[in-house]
Each structure stands twice: as structure tokens, then as C-alpha cells.
Structure 1
Amino acid sequence: MPNFAEFTVEESFADLTIKDSSKKVSKDEVSGDAIAEQGSRNASSSSACPHHPSEANDKRMHSLQSFLQSGKEKLLAKLSGLSSAGDENIVIIMGNDAADLDSVASAIALAYLLTALPHPRLGHANGRTTLYVPIIQANRSTSPLRPENNLVLQITLGDSASMLRDGWLPNLTWLDDIADALSESTAHESIAMSSANTSAPALRRRNKFHQDVLATSPKLGPANGISFGLVDHNRLGPLWGSKGMEREVRLIVDHHADEQAHLTVPLRWIKPPDADPVGSCASMVAMLFQGQWLSKEKHTSGGIPITVADLLLTAIALDTDNLKLRPLGKGTKHDAKAYNLLLPFSSLADPTNRARIISNISSMMPQLVPNHLITSALFGSVPEKDVAFANQLTSPPSPVLVKRTNTEPDPDTPTQERIDALRDMVAPAWKSISFAKRSVIYHLSADDFLRRDCKIMSVTAGAVAIGSKMQLDLHIAFSTIPTSMSALVYGFEKTPIKKPEEERQTLWDAWWRALDDFMAESDLDFAICLMRCREKQRTQDEKDKHMRELIIIHRQSTPQGQLAPPPVFSGLLKGLEQETYISDGAAYKEAPASPLRLMLKQPWKGKEIPSSGKRDRLDRVGLEGNWLGSPSGNTLWVRAYRQRNAKANRKVILPVVLSVLKHFNFP
């Protein structure tokens, strides 16, 4: 079985690396198109043969497991300061801190492809071997919050029984693995932070301890041969250290708004949503090496393992709703090209393997999805389509019928007929993975919801404001929550508002307390909760409407009793309500489909209360929006909105919030 040393960059890419390693690689040499073209020059002029699973590919699947395990061992040995640690350069490849499937799959695939396929050297000048090690930018304890990740990783990496038994995917590297390794090499008393205690307060203390270790350790700097590669985000987050802490970024592949950070990295490929959008970062990873994928020699038994194609393909499917193209969906021409490129290399290209995968999903689902959802609908708000699909999972799988289609990879944009055929082949797996993702919401706590899909950013308020009398460094969490605030506060019941007033107030206090604890753990100044769900209409003839709510929470570390909200909170609300972030003037605001317009409506109104006939309002907060129940003596300032532009998701809201804060003029 191959070991990690056999995949080293200098040995595998010697014929294509830049000879003068101190020379900065030009933008053209390292762009996605350039790398693809470099590989395609060696490709056969004829169409490549379909790459179906075989015994050789099974061996390559195991090599991916060895790649992950060996990389983890070498990284942790270096961070622990063990004498056995080598002197290699290590580039930590990681997705964003929401740790969704797109981030996880992109990080694993990019690390493997950078190791296994030729590419320009990424700037190391010390002549040492470079290792690319993927990590998940989340703690291992959060794994159950992402059943779709676990499902895909277990199917693609194999041996699901041992993965469940050994604590969820032991070959992968998590944040707490890194923090534990760093704490072992310092004076920190990591024993006091034992993982044996799994109570909520103990987990919060442990997470805070890990954050301190990651933010302050010099062992994560270039002096120790450590640098970073970012996928699915383009700025190293505050978790990894303050502005004065030396951290080095060597590559960025992302499809979010460009935050103008790390501008001199050797490989910086960003496709922002307002320019040339891409639905999934996994599509960019696939297209980065398009030429090498299509090269004739890569179709031999020594080629790319099918697991890499499966990881990328399932991530694109989940992010784009199985390639649902704009304007109705998030998919774009780039995602269609990636689908077309990957499918022939994937398990899903073969009908027999496709049926086997669905059978494996059915057998694994009860381990990942709450039993009550598999057997029956105990909660009245569980969508009927989810209940029906869950009940199917307990029955033997039916044969998978798909249209016969040519599976040859085509580098050009596929036709609509080809796209339809690709979607047909992916649909059974995509539906199962989507169901796993949706099912988790019916048994999560408020704290789970806040952490499950959260990105933490740093911004300096007043940084670009003309005449501002001060600047203020802020930490902000953006949590996407797939339900309404009423459902989150009251639970998933048919008639959640039919509760006594005293019980309703207790539930609201519990929600605000969960927010306060969540913000205190990471020293957050703001939490932005982006709620989304489908809202039932009054008549059966009307279709359920897609609905979004936006909740702004500011945590103020001052004594209670302040009557007026702080200026930075009021300034953010004013900027969002008056849409000052739109620079094109009033005419631009008149366009109802403007992608930047949030179209916020207040006061927030939840579900109707039967006893009064009125809709629910925020509870346990003062007239100015302040909740005073924090046991730490802090004040939470709260504002909630109904968001009339239901298409504005986090990709829109996050840069808008940061822009308003940067331009805030402190009085």
C-alpha cells in the first residue's frame, strides 16, 4: 500500500515545477485555466475512455485513506514537536469554518490532487519536500450536526462500521486534533480540558481553550514550515491568530466575495458571485486540473481514485440542487462543466455501482438520521416528502433506472440534453444526501443550530469612513439556520403558540441565553442569524413560499441598565434598513430583483397566537431591543426582520454587513 512519502511534490512534479523556486509564479502560470491548459497539452486529441471502477481503483481508494492518515500523522507530529517529525513544508488545506460538504470535499480533493498531479510550484524556496494535508475547520464533536458529510465520507472512504465505532472518520484531521497536538508541546495543562466530560459547559470551556491555543501558537507559522491553503473562503479567520501573529497563506480557491486579503499568494483564484459566479467551490477544484483529468495516461490503473471524483460530484450536487441552473437555482455553466468532467470518473457512471451506492446509503441512513423520522412522522411539521422518503429507506432498494447516455468527458459546456442526462444519473444519490441534510433539523438544540453552519469573520468598524473619530475591531458570527425563529424557539410542533404565557417567556429566555453563551465562548461582538424556511399559505391552492428572517444580535460588555443601544449597533441597523450599502443611487433601489437589496421589514412577526389572533413578537426584550437576562452581566441588543428578498442568502448578506460596518462613521 502506498505511503504518503511516495506522493511528495518534488518527486511527482519535478518535470513541471518552476526551477527557480525563489521566483514568484506569475498569475497566468498558476490560474485555474493555465493549470488546466498545461495538463491538456499532454492530453490525447481523441476522447478519453470512460473511467469505471475496477480492482485497481479499489486499491487507489485505499491509497486515499493512507494519504489522509499519513498526512494527519506527519502534521500532528510536527505540531507536537516530536523528534520523529520530518523537516517538510506542510500546507494545511482547509475549507471555511461552516464545514459543509462543499468545504470538506474541496479541501480533501485539492490536497490529494496537488499531491498526485503536476502543477507549478507554490512558492517554497527552501528546497524541502512539501506535503499537502487537508483538515476540517471544526471540532470533531460537531460531526453529528452534518449527517450529509458523514454519509458521503463513509460511502467514498469505505469501511463505515469502523468509522462509526472509532468516533467518526478517524483518518480525518479536525481542529481539536491540532489544538491537542499544540497543547502537548506547550505549558498548557491540556489534561484539565479532558474530552471525557461532554457536558455543554465543559465543551464550551474546551472549545475556548482550543481557540486560545490556535490563536497564539507560533508552531502554526512559517518558521515551523507551516502555511495554509484556503478553499471555499478567501481570508484566514480570527481563529488562527490576531493581526500581529505571523501566518502564511500559499493558495486560495474560492467562489465568495473577494475580501481583498492575502493579495500576493502564489495561487489566488476567486470567482465572486457578482462577477462570474460558480455554485460550488468543488467545481473550481475539479476545473483547476481539467487538463490532467482528461489526459489519456490518467485513465490507466494508476489514475485518480474514483473517491475523489465522488467527493467533488456529490458536493456540487448538494450545493446546486443537482445542477439546477440559474436563475431558478444556484448552478452555473462552470458547475455544468465540472459535472460533465467528473461523472465519467465517478462511481455513478456505472449503473451497477449506482445501485450499490443507493443500497449502501439505505443501510447507513438509520445510523445517521433520528429513528423517529425513519419509522414515522412524530412531528407534525416534518414535510410529507421527507416522511415518505424516510419510510422508503427501511425497504429494499428498487432498481435504479436511468437514461442511457454517452459518458465521455467533454471539456466544452454541455448541452441541455446532456445536462438532463447527467442529472438523471446523479439524482438517486443526491436525493438521499439531501434528505440526510434536512433530517437533522428535527432534533437539534438552539446551540446546535447556531454552530452547525456558522462562519466567524473579523472586521474593523469605521476603517474606511471619512472623518470617523475611532475604529473598532469586531468579531462577527454568521449562522445560517434552516428554520424560522418561531419553530426554533417553540420546537417543531403543529401548534407551538398554544402555550401558556409563562412557558412562552421561559422558551424565549432559553433562546436568548443560548445566544449569549454562544457569543461569549468565541468573544463575539455580533451574531447574525439567517433563518430560512418554507411558509405554509392560508389556502391549499397556494404553494408554500420560501421565507427568510434576519436576526441581528450585538453583545455589549458593559453594566446592565444602559437605556440606549450603542452607536455601532444602531449604525448597522440604519445601514441595512436604509440600504446605504447600495452605491448606485435611488434608481438602483427601484429594481425589485436587485440582488443586493435585502428589503427588510419590521417589526418582526412570527406565527399567529390563537388566543389573541395576533402574530407572535419578540419576547423578553425591552422597548429598545435589549435582553437583560445574561448571567455574565452583559447586555444583548436584538433586532429581528422579515426579509422580503428571499433570494439574498449569506453570500449576499455577509459582505453587505461588513461593508456597512467598515463605512460606519463613529460620532
Structure 2
Amino acid sequence: MPPPPTLPAYVQWAKQQTMEHLRASKHGKTPNKHLLIVMGNDAGDLDSAASAMGLSYLLAHDAKLRAKYHLGDDANVVPLLQTPRDDLEDRSENVLVYDMLGISREDILCIDDLGVSIHHSTYLSPEQNVSLGLVDHPLLTPAWGGAKEDPHERQVDVIVDHHEEQGAHLDAKLRIIRSPSNDPVGSTASLVSNLFHDSGNTPPHALADLLLSAIVLDTKNVVMLPKGKASAVDLAAYKFLLPHSSFKTATSAASFVSEAQERLSNLANAAGVVYDTSTHATKHETTAVWSKLLRQVKANVAHLDTHGLLARDMKIADVHTSQGKVRFGISSVPLSLSAWLSGAYRQHAKPHDTTDAAVEQEWRRCWVTMHAWMQERGLDIAVVLPSFKEMHNGKLKSRRDFAMLYAAPQGGKAFADVLAELEAWGKPGSLAPSATFLDLRPWRGQRLIRGERERVHGLGADGQVQIPTAAPIYGTVLRQGNTNANRKVVQPALVRILKYIL
């Protein structure tokens, strides 16, 4: 059965083909038809989901393109989201887009639908005629075995990504990596869109909307470098997709956004929220309101507790050091720590002034929850990157914080050394003197306690977290002065530092 032409029908078909392939393998039959699973990253953001669906759709429908990259003349190409089905609702911006495009969430292939151990199962191996594609990440995640996975167990044939080059899976047949350090691209969906253009293909209407939504969300409606994240690649993709989308005219765009606003009331985080869709855009006007609306929906995380906030946008990586494997997770959270600790975000309120006793209890609860989270996910290090805006001298300013909990080898000494290298990162004499400077400073919260701004609680003088644990763990919370240094900057920095220290 050939893949259907419409995106919703294709997504449904892809899940069916995958489950039939796995059923055959489980019954001891090696499927005749090759299965190429194109997966997004483990954070599961809109760019990741759109890129997985977009690239798999393109390769599934264009036999000549598959032949060009030796991906199989008669292959089924399917998208996979590395998000458990029950967690799909955590990303309300994704859910809104799926609903607008007629994609049933039940039809999306999620990681737990596979029903096998993705790390060790032979059902996902080349022996069972399965290979893998990666979008929005440059190497297999630890759940799949990571960069050191045996090629006889996992075969990576495709990589399309805009993160730092990791030197992994160098034999992938289609391999496009645009590293932010030397060739930045705002969205992986832009790279996928340009593959459509370069191969002479036109995405169907719903797929054009999906890819365009990811691009305008990630680039804040194509704000160009250096002020924004968009590059010439993103702009070219935007211009290519626009005529095929719901945003080709002001009238069609207004109709699309109007319907989206009606659907907002069905989202898990919709209660008590008023979205501001006013805009004074002078460029890319037809997508300006949609970009702003998506960003607001994404930033509204009132429906999530601390566990949900940590899980919603997290990536896990393994670092192989002389001390053995160190696993860390980095969670991006669109909140200030003060709003998070106080729970004010759940009432859509600003953090209010508080007392020493209240803040001590809040910080203790936070450290306990983060430590439990580390144990649940098997992490040696947990990093949280809160980002938010606050008023300063009458202007709304972007802010970033940096929090880390450390339970890796060599304890307090290694923690202190790692922290010192992070603070020096990008400075002359550091491990990476030409890298992006993080500008880490002492943390001060938004709340006042006895007339002074809140400070970190629950840490000893050496950074040891003051909660009962089987072995000492260490923590820090800092203000990050460079608000442009996101996870794409912090993660490779931490990898290099851990390899150096440990």
C-alpha cells in the first residue's frame, strides 16, 4: 500500500506500517520491506516533530530521492516521536498545531507504541530490515544506545540537524548538520523544507503549515541573525513554504488564527488565560500573529508541576570519561525560578514577597524533587535552564538562570572544578577561549525577603545540598548574563568540560 498524499492520512498509514513490521518480526518473520524510522529528539518540541513528519513524508513519497541516497527503492519511511503518548499533552503548542491540521494524536507513532526495549531489542536492528533517521539531534540518544551503539544493532542512515557536530554516525547516507558555532540555522524544519525545494517537491498544504509553524516559532517569526535566530536558510524555507500554506494571504492567515483561538479553550493549560495577539509587524506580516500565539501557548505551563516542567523539554546525553559513563539531562523551563518555587505561575500571577521560613521550605521541596527526578531518569547530573522576561527600568528584558545538581564521580572537588570551568567558559585561558561566554553570576530572585532580593537556600558552603541522600550531592544556582546562550551552547560546553575534568 503506497503512502497517502495528505499529511493526516500519511501519519496514520505510517503508524500502521510500523506496527505491522514489528508484529512480523515478533512472530519470527523477517519483513521483506525495509523500514526507515525518522525520529525527532527526546525533548519533542514542535521543530523536532515537524521535521520528523516532514522528512519522512518527503522520503516516503519520492523514490528518486531515496535512490539518490541509497535508502531503498521499496522502503516504508515513517516518523517517530520520542515522547511517551501520555506526555503529548505537556506540549500544548504541538497539540494546537496537530488539531489545526487534522492530525489525530492517536495516529501519531510515539516511542512507547513500539512495545519493545529500544536499547536492546533486535526487532529494530538491520537484521529485521530496520534503519534509523535522526532529525533535530546529531546522534542516537542514550535510550537507543548513543554514539557508541553497535552498528549491527542500530543502523543510522539519515541525519538532518542544526546542533553541534558530534562526529557520530559518519557513514549515514544522507547527513546534513549545520552547527551553531560556525553555520547556524534557526530551525531543523528549514533544512527539511529546503530538501523539498531542492528535490523539486511541493509539500501538501497541511505539511507546509506544520513546517512553517515550527520555523516561525523557533525564529520568532524569522527575526534574522544577529538580533534573532533566523539565517538565510530559514528565510529561504519560509519564502518557499508560504505560497503553499494557510498564510499565503492576510485573509487566509486571519481565518486560520481565528480558528486556532477557538480551539485554545480545549488545551490543558487554557483556563484563565488571555492571549495577546496584537502585533506591529512590518515583515512577514501574515505569520506574525500565529508566531506570537504559538510562543504564548508554549510559554504557558500552568498545567505542569515540577516533575512535568523537568520532563517537558529535556534532553539526555552520555559522556564517556576516564571515570566511566556520566549521564546528564538538561531541561529548558520557560519560567523564573521565583515563579517556579512559589507556584505563582500556576495562578498566572507574579511572584510575591515572602518570608525566610516559606522560602526555606520551597527550596527544600525543589531540591528533593530534582533529586528524585535524577534517580528516576538515572542521571548523574541534572541541569535546568530557566528563561523568562521581567521589567527593568520600564522595559521588558530577557533573563536566563542556570541550575545544576551534581551526583557524578569525585564528588565535591569535581563539582567545584566543573563549575569553575563553566564560569570561565569563553574567557581567555579557558578550555574554549573563543566559545560563547555564558557570563554566570550570583543569583538573585524576583521576590523580596525582609526588603532584600531572594537568594539561594538549601546549600552548604561547599555547595552540598542539605537534604538526606545516600551519598553527598552538590548544587548551584546562578544568573546567566548571556541570554542568547541556550541549550545548544550549554550542552556541548558541559560535554567538553566533563571529559576534561573526569
Q: Which residue of 2 aligns with 1:255?
A: 162
Aligned 1:504-523 pairs, distance under 5 A: 504-523=359-378
**1:371 Cα shift?**
4.3
Equivalent residue for 2:126, pick from 212, 216, 222: 222
Q: Which residue of 2 aligns with 1:658?
A: 495
What is the rounded CA distance, in whole Å, between the counterparts of 1:250 and 1:556 in structure 2? Answer: 33
Q: Which residue of 1 aligns with 2:478?
A: 641
What is the rounded CA distance, in whole Å, between the counterparts of 2:459 and 2:411 in structure 1? Answer: 13
Q: Which residue of 2 aligns with 1:598?
A: 438
Name the aligned partner's letter for residue 112 of structure 2: D
Larger proportion of strand: 2
Aligned 1:239-278 pairs, distance under 5 A: 239-241=143-145, 243=148, 245=150, 246-278=153-185
1:305 matched to 2:209? The reply is no
Aligned 1:101-250 pairs, distance under 5 A: 101-117=46-62, 118-121=64-67, 129-157=74-102, 163=104, 169-178=105-114, 181-182=115-116, 213-241=117-145, 243=148, 245=150, 246-250=153-157
The C-alpha deviation readout for 1:12-45, integer Å capped at 9, x for no partner, is: xxxxxxxxxxxxxxxxxxxxxxxxxxxxxxxxxx
**1:283 Cα shift?**
0.5
Aligned 1:255-404 pairs, distance under 5 A: 255-293=162-200, 304-368=203-267, 370-374=269-273, 387=274, 389=276
Q: Is the 8 A contact 1:369 1:436 kept in 2?
A: no
Higher relative contact order (CA 8 A, sep 6+): 1
Aligned 1:46-61 pairs, distance under 5 A: 60-61=5-6
The C-alpha deviation readout for 1:151-186, integer Å capped at 9, x for no partner, is: 11111235xxxx4xxxxx1110111111xx22xxxx
What is the rounded CA distance, in whole Å, between the counterparts of 2:299 and 2:112 in structure 1? Answer: 26
Q: Is the 8 A contact 1:103 1:281 kept in 2?
A: yes
What is the rounded CA distance, in whole Å, between the counterparts of 1:346 and 1:654 in structure 2? Answer: 34
Name the aligned partner's letter for residue 536 of structure 1: M
Q: Percent of aligned positions with the same letter in both sequences?
A: 32
Specify the SS of the correspondent of 2:42. coil
The C-alpha deviation readout for 1:469-506, integer Å capped at 9, x for no partner, is: x332111101111112121111224453424x433222
Specify the SS of the correspondent of 1:442. coil
**1:128 Cα shift?**
7.3
What is the rounded CA distance, in whole Å, between the counterparts of 2:484 and 2:303 in structure 1? Answer: 27
Q: Is the 8 A contact 2:82 2:111 kept in 1?
A: yes
Q: Is the 8 A contact 1:556 1:634 kept in 2?
A: no
Name the aligned partner's letter for residue 438 of structure 2: L
**1:574 Cα shift?**
1.9
Equivalent residue for 2:314, pick from 454, 463, 485: 454
Aligned 1:405-484 pairs, distance under 5 A: 423-439=284-300, 441-461=301-321, 470-484=322-336
Q: Which residue of 2 aligns with 1:70?
A: 13
What is the rounded CA distance, in whole Å, between the counterparts of 2:275 and 2:155 in structure 1? Answer: 49
* Pairs aligned (count): 491
Q: Is the 8 A contact 2:161 2:176 kept in 1?
A: yes
**1:124 Cα shift?**
6.0
Q: Residue 497 and residue 434 in structure 1: after superposition, are their counterparts in 2 closer, same or farther (change >3 A)?
A: same
Q: Is the 8 A contact 2:216 2:291 kept in 1?
A: yes
Aligned 1:462-611 pairs, distance under 5 A: 470-492=322-344, 493-499=349-355, 501-537=356-392, 539=393, 542-555=394-407, 565-579=411-425, 585=429, 596-602=436-442, 604-611=443-450
Q: Which residue of 2 aligns with 1:624?
A: 462
What is the rounded CA distance, in whole Å, between the counterparts of 2:123 and 2:70 in structure 1? Answer: 17
**1:135 Cα shift?**
0.8
Q: Is the 8 A contact 2:89 2:268 kept in 1?
A: no
Name the aligned partner's letter for residue 446 of structure 2: K
What is the rounded CA distance, in whole Å, between the counterparts of 2:74 and 2:199 in structure 1? Answer: 22
Q: Which residue of 2 aligns with 1:25?
A: none
Give TM-score scaled by structure 1 length.
Answer: 0.69
- Give the greater-gyration-radius structure (CA): 1
Q: Is the 8 A contact 1:626 1:638 kept in 2?
A: yes
Give TM-score scaled by structure 2 length.
Answer: 0.90
Specify the SS of the correspondent of 1:536. strand
**1:442 Cα shift?**
2.8
The C-alpha deviation readout for 1:184-241, integer Å capped at 9, x for no partner, is: xxxxxxxxxxxxxxxxxxxxxxxxxxxxx22222222111112110111101010113
Name the aligned partner's letter for residue 70 of structure 1: W
What is the rounded CA distance, in whole Å, between the counterparts of 2:149 and 2:292 in structure 1? Answer: 46
Specify the SS of the correspondent of 1:68. helix
RMSD: 2.7
What is the rounded CA distance, in whole Å, between the counterparts of 1:531 and 1:495 in structure 2? Answer: 15
**1:129 Cα shift?**
2.6
Q: Is the 8 A contact 1:91 1:133 kept in 2?
A: yes
What is the rounded CA distance, in whole Å, between the counterparts of 1:371 and 1:551 in structure 2? Answer: 29
Q: Residue 494 and residue 248 in structure 1: after superposition, are their counterparts in 2 closer, same or farther (change >3 A)?
A: same
Specify the SS of the correspondent of 1:443. coil
What is the rounded CA distance, in whole Å, between the counterparts of 2:112 and 2:95 in structure 1? Answer: 18
What is the rounded CA distance, in whole Å, between the counterparts of 1:257 and 1:654 in structure 2? Answer: 9
**1:522 Cα shift?**
1.6
The C-alpha deviation readout for 1:555-603, integer Å capped at 9, x for no partner, is: 259xxxxxx9444322211211233x66x648x96xxxx761111113x
Q: Residue 573 and residue 85 in structure 1: after superposition, are their counterparts in 2 closer, same or farther (change >3 A)?
A: same
Q: Is the 8 A contact 1:74 1:85 kept in 2?
A: no
